[in-house]
Structures are given as structure tokens and as C-alpha cells.
A and B are shown apart, each in its own frame.
Chain A
Amino acid sequence: MARYHLQTPFSEEAIRQLRVGDIVHFDGTLFGIRDLTQIYMFDQHHEPPVSLKGMPCIHTAPSLKKVDGKWVPICVGTTTSYRMERFTPPLIENYGVRAIIGKGGLYEQSLEAMKKCGAVYLAIVGGAASLETQQIVEVEQVYWEHLHPEALYQFRVKDFGPLTVAMDSHGNNLYSEVKAKVMARLPKIYQKLGVA
């Protein structure tokens, strides 16, 4: 388990050095997206008004409030990623996103895109939104405001993490590795539970 402290935008080299199980923190820009943001982008064909190249995207639906015309965070947390699988390969391949941050992981096609383009999936600690919110320095921009709380958010973050590299750019998937170990242990567990 290596530890990294990165700065956005991420270079391909910075991302390729990461291996599953490593712990990452980073400073810089973070984009918030989720179901509707990506349906709007990919199914309804809206080009993002900002470049996502080299950037991390987090699966979120933030609680924000507007104070004197400026968005401020109330609570920003992370949602379950599997619902975003269909959108992830084009997000990486067409827009150059280098890191997807979420919880629960993604599937094979996302892993392929990560391998091909040099991107990673970073697992955040789900449920720990109070910690995550504290690491957000500023809500810099909310694009597609009419989609809020599923708009496109641009946050500035400091020491964002801890994030576990759960899918790396070399075809490794920590969720699959853990699952394989669970399945290997299962016959013994069934036996002990008396349900074999």
C-alpha cells in the first residue's frame, strides 16, 4: 500500500503509477456528476461547458445553498457508482477524465477504458460526507444549474481523501479481487454455518 498526494489536472504518468490498494489524497479541481448529469450529456447530447481533461469526477448529489448569489456546501457526499457504468467509458475516452471517484465500484467496460486511456477508479468512504464536505474549499461553479442537485459541479478541494485505488489503469479491480477471495472462502463458511 503506497500513499500518494496528487495535484489536478492529473497526468497520464501520475495515474499509471497507481496500483489497487494504494491510498490517494489530492488538491485542486473536482467535478461533481451523477445519473441525470450524464443522461443530459450522453443521451440528450449536451456538451459540457468546461473541459474535463485530466480531471477527477465524483459521483455526488450535493446539498448546497445560495448565499448572496454564491453556492456554498451544506453537505457533499458520494453516491453508489454502479448506476453510472454506461456513461463511464465515453467520459474517459471522449472527455479525458482521469479519475472516477465513487463507492461500490464499476464494471468491465469502465475498467477497459481505464486501461486504454490511463484512468483510475478511486473509492471514497461512503457515508462520510461530513469529512468530504470539510475538504471542499469552494464551490467554484455550478453548470447546468437547472439540473441541481444533479447538475455539473466544479469544486476546489484540499487534501481530498482518503481514496483507495480500487480499479487501476493496468486492468486490476480490487472489488473483483476481494469478491474472488470471498467466493473461495465460501464453501468453508457454508459448512461452518451448517448450510452446505
Chain B
Amino acid sequence: MESFDYKIVEEAAKQLYIRALCDLPPDVREAIKKAAARETQPTAKEIFKAMLAAIDIADEKKTLICQDTGLPLYMLKIGSRFHWDGAEIKDRIHEGAKRATLEFPFRSSATDFLTRVNSQTSVGRGLPVLYVDFLKDADYLEMLMIPKGSGSENMSTLKMFIPADGINALKKFVLDSVIAAGANPCPPGIIGVGMGGTADLVMRLAKEAIARPVGQRNPDPEIAKMEQDLEDAINATGSGPMGLGGDVSTLAVHIETAHTHITQNPVAVNTQCWPARRARARIYPDGRVEYGY
């Protein structure tokens, strides 16, 4: 067995948290620029200008775009052509997220749910959140890091519909959830939607949906059409950036799906705010690390 220094995973986990907070992905930047260009309402245009300025300042000063450093989520894809030590990866990610918080330093949002005492490290019982998946023909470990802010996370919704409700009930639920969330999740963001699965899986699908680059459509043409229809519907509301009125109320709707039970039709909505932060790293068995988005 080749030896791999797991310090590399720890360092990458740390870098990813910082990168995600400071450097917005190119697709998000592009989407905000396009939104700003097509916005016609004066106050909304002013808001977009401030958003673009915030992105530039974060670039220039190598600082955080938003003060809500969120709760850390790492989505892992583990290549099966190398013997990766899962328990070691888990420990190192925990350590990396903690070090990012203490060494940058930035605010920890991780709090004991009962005593409300902040761990001051962004980690704690159950945190960071890890999603684990596998890659058949790869030897690398991929980590996609998402800091999930609370303004958007607090607006999450889930409903277990039944087959008799039909697919339209799911679509209506998505639109109604976005309208009810209003100004709170810092619109215009990405509306992540899960359809199908179980109660836990459907919310995870919604989370995976917000991790997709802005506007990348679901490969299933029928689902892609539903994404476009919902996007048009949300933008037609006129709720606008920060819910203060305008033409652009969402950057994109992304839907991820799974098979479900014969008695069920679950749907979940998980929103990502306009600074749709994410950072990606691929770690190879020889120790190379490639960073991306």
C-alpha cells in the first residue's frame, strides 16, 4: 500500500473553506453581471451595483464577501482506484475547517443547539456536514466545499406529497416556498429543488442542486424544462433583488431527482443566496492538489 500524507487533505479542507468565502465561482459572477444588465428598476439596479462592488472588493482585499461564514458542508467523491482511508479523511476535514476559522481568522457560526454556546471553530457535534459518494474510474478524492449561510438555510422547506396530488403540486410548492421566503434568503440566489426520494434524501438532493454551476441544466429534458418554467415563474413575480422589487428574483432553478416510494412524492427547496459560494479540490494519490470551483 502506497503511503499518503493526510495532512494534504487537512490543508485542502482549510483552503477550500477560505477560498469559498473569498472567491465567488466564475459562473456566479457571470450570472450576477447578466442579471444586473437585464434589470430595469432603479433601486434594483443600485442593489446589483453594490453586489458587484462587494465581489470586486473581496477580490482586491482577499477578504470575505459575506460575514456569514455559514456551517461547513463538504461533498466528497472518493475514487475507487486508490485505497483512501475514509475515517482519516473525516478527521482531517474536521481539523481543516477548524483551522480555517482560527487561522484566517473568521467568525464561527457553529453553536450548541441547547446551550447556544458557540464552539468558535465552525465545527462541533455533527459538523462539518459530509456527503460521501464514490467514483468508479478515478483514483482521486474530490471535495466540494459549501459554506451554508443561515439567511437562506432558514428558509428551507420540505413536503411529503402523495401521488394523488400530481406533479403540479410540487411545482406550486416550489413557487410558493420562494414567495414565502421573500427578501430573507438574499435573493436573487439559486433555488435548489429535490424531487422524489425519502424525507432525508429529498433535502440532500436540493442541496446537491445548489452545488451545480449556475444555469447548468438537469440532463433530463423534461426536468430541464421544469427548471426553466419555474425560473420564469419566479422572475415573473417581480420580487426582485433583496425582495425590494425588480425583474430578477432568481439566478437559476436547479432540480435533482430520485426514485421515490409508490405512496410518496416528496419535494424540498433549499435556497442559496446570491453570493453562491463554493470551492472544489481534487487530491491525487501522489499528493497533487488541483483547486477549482
Q: Which residues of A contact B (CB under 8 A)?
A: 1, 21, 23, 60-63, 65, 74-80, 82, 103-105, 123, 125-134, 149, 162, 164, 166, 174-175, 177-179, 181-182, 185-186, 188-190, 192-195
Contacts and interface: CB of A to CB of B under 8 A. Distances in A.
A80 B47 contact: no
A23 B233 CA distance: 28
B68 A77 contact: yes
Contacts of A82: 184
Interface stretch (B48-56, B88-96, B195-203, B281-289): B48-56
Nearest to A83: B154
A139 B275 CA distance: 26
A185 B237 contact: yes
B230 interface: yes
Contacts of B104: 74
Interface string B62-106: 011111110000000000000000000000000000000000111
Q: Which secondary structure dominates where chain A touches chain B?
A: mixed
A79 B186 CA distance: 10
Given A74-B105, A182-B238, A103 B183 contact: yes
Interface of B: 42-43, 46-47, 49-51, 53-55, 57-58, 61, 63-69, 104-107, 149-151, 154, 168-169, 171-172, 175, 179, 182-184, 186, 229-230, 232-233, 236-245, 273-275
A104 B150 CA distance: 13
A125 B243 contact: no
A194 B240 CA distance: 23
Contacts of B106: 63, 74-75
Nearest to A179: B182
B175 A195 contact: yes
Contact of A186 (B149, B171, B229, B237): B237
